[in-house]
Structure 1
Amino acid sequence: MDAASGRVVMLGSAAHYPEKENPLAKLRAGFPADMEQLVRPPPDEPGNEHDRGFQRYGTAKLANVVFMQDLNKRLQRDPKLSSITVTCMDPGGLVSSRAHSEQRAGVRRLMAVVDAMMPLLRHFTTAVRTTEDAGRDLVALSVEPEFRGKRGYFVGRSAEIPAKDSLDSQAQKTLGVL
């Protein structure tokens, strides 16, 4: 990695915010009191598999954002590595994602309708996106000169404020040793 302009780019999700409701699941992202459960979660209660799965997804994205925050701090402390940056990008709701094949039937139908409307919707919102648009943004964050030296959380190409929990130094320390 080029120590003068290296970039680490990770993927996030709107599902990483414990403080925001998730329209696709009842359960929100968050770290369990016993962090060992991140590695070995208990079995899901019958009927709760979908929501627990989505919670685990959001928690994994929260862990990415926590890691991004921690790695940026560590890199900035080292004079030889301080120019390397770490960003985490939320690509937006990818309506054509294969992940929707495991959604509830109603959500799958809704995503199919939204996907069909994407040629029009893409001009009005970034909440739902095509994989192609998200891919272009990911490449831009990774290599384009305008993002050289940028750190932090992005939704597409726009810098945003990540979840409050991602700034928790204790969570950063705990995740760093798991």
Structure 2
Amino acid sequence: MAGTIILTGANSSLGTPAVEHLIQNYGDYTAILTVRDASDADVNTNRLRQVISQYPRAKAYIYALDLSSLSATHAFTREIASEITNGRYPRLSAIICNAYYWNLVGDPELTADGFDKTMQVNHISHASLVLQLLGSFGIDGRIILLSSDSRWPGKNPMEKYPPSIPDDLSLLVRPDVDDDKQGRGYQRYATSKLAIVTWMYALNRYLQKDPNLNKVTTVAINPGNMVDSRALRSNTPISMHRMQTWVYKPLLPLLQLMTPTLRSAAPAGVDVIELAISPTYAGQQGFFTLLQKDESSPESNNEVKQESLWKQTLQWAQVTQENTALRTTFK
């Protein structure tokens, strides 16, 4: 029986076409779709509702979820786990961690939990969500984490300062402030994407050691650089808006000859759903670029850093043996 798919950031540039592909091609699945603002005042959520409304038989449900709040994230996981236990939703088949945050025009922002907002939304709260919902999977399942080429120093032309996992992990959640808002803002974003991949390797190790969860696998994907993404117009300098309008979008076919991973958001959304559901990718784990297995960065493959970040993430995310089904990490 088809299970439940959770997709965060479901009203995003990637998320909305992903939802439409899911409904069109995997209509037996139940979709739990999270957005920051589920109200009618949000134009992007209304666009998502319009897409869903075109398919009367769609089993798609929109939830408000603020990933910058651990209390909201924990409340969401408890609610979904309860709804799966009581039979309202089928057991999980996949979790797709797509929601993101960046700020290239301001100083680091601390959430109410005391963490850098970019790191909390992109990594910490997603880790909390995944770990608390492991017990709601069926016999097997897939976890898809959204990364990018930014996780590898020197891969993205926007990089001014390379991403890195420091020995002092507190710097990830309380970064220093300086005057270069765009450069440091992008570094915080890139570092969060590096953290996602680094943590993914540790998660797969612990899942494989757990006899009850060793058929749940995790993939981190670089879905490509999406030239039509709203991200380029959100918390970004006006120069990026202009580049999107006058360079990236009109010159995409030419630019793809030099950078094949440049693309629009719609095919990226399709790829993410295929990776999460298609039998072609059953049991896959590790790092992917688009739909091809790929290498991650050398730092993300450092097992000492993987373990250090794994243990610290448990603390940041407030995950204990009482709220996760993953037993091996607490032995």
The corresponding residue for 2:301 is 167
Are the equivalent residues in 1 in contact too, given 2:256–2:262 (CA < 8 A)? no
The corresponding residue for 1:157 is 291
Q: Flag the 1:72–1:23 CA change in 2: closer, same or farther, 3 A.
A: same
The corresponding residue for 2:243 is 110
Shift of 1:121: 5.3
Structure 1: distance between partners of 2:269 and 2:277: 12
**Larger radius of gyration between Structure 1 and Structure 2:** 2
Structure 2: distance between partners of 1:121 and 1:133: 18
* Structure 2 residue runs without a partner (length 5+): 1-91, 93-136, 313-331
1:131 aligns with 2:255: no
Shift of 1:115: 1.3
Which string of whole-angstrom CA distances, capped at 9 and with x for unpartnered residues, describes residues 111-153 of structure 1? 22221344x4597553211110100000000101100011111
Shift of 1:107: 3.7
The corresponding residue for 1:13 is 148
Which string of whole-angstrom CA distances, capped at 9 and with x for unpartnered residues, describes residues 69-117 of structure 1? 1111111112322111100111111112222124444443232222134
TM value normalised by structure 2: 0.49
Question: How many residues are aligned here?
Answer: 174
* Structure 1 residue runs without a partner (length 5+): none
Which string of whole-angstrom CA distances, capped at 9 and with x for unpartnered residues, describes residues 27-60 of structure 1? 11112232101111122x11x1111111111110
- Identity, % of aligned pairs? 32
Which segment is superposed worse, 121-130 or 61-70? 121-130
TM value normalised by structure 1: 0.88
The corresponding residue for 2:187 is 55
Question: Which structure ranks higher in relative contact order (CA pairs < 8 Å, sequence separation ≥ 6)?
Answer: 1
Query: What amino acid is the match of 1:151?
Result: Q
1:76 aligns with 2:211: no
The corresponding residue for 1:147 is 281
Structure 1: distance between partners of 2:140 and 2:281: 10
Structure 2: distance between partners of 1:122 and 1:5: 40
Q: Flag the 1:170–1:3 CA change in 2: closer, same or farther, 3 A.
A: farther
Displaced runs of 4 or more, over 6 A? none
RMSD: 2.0
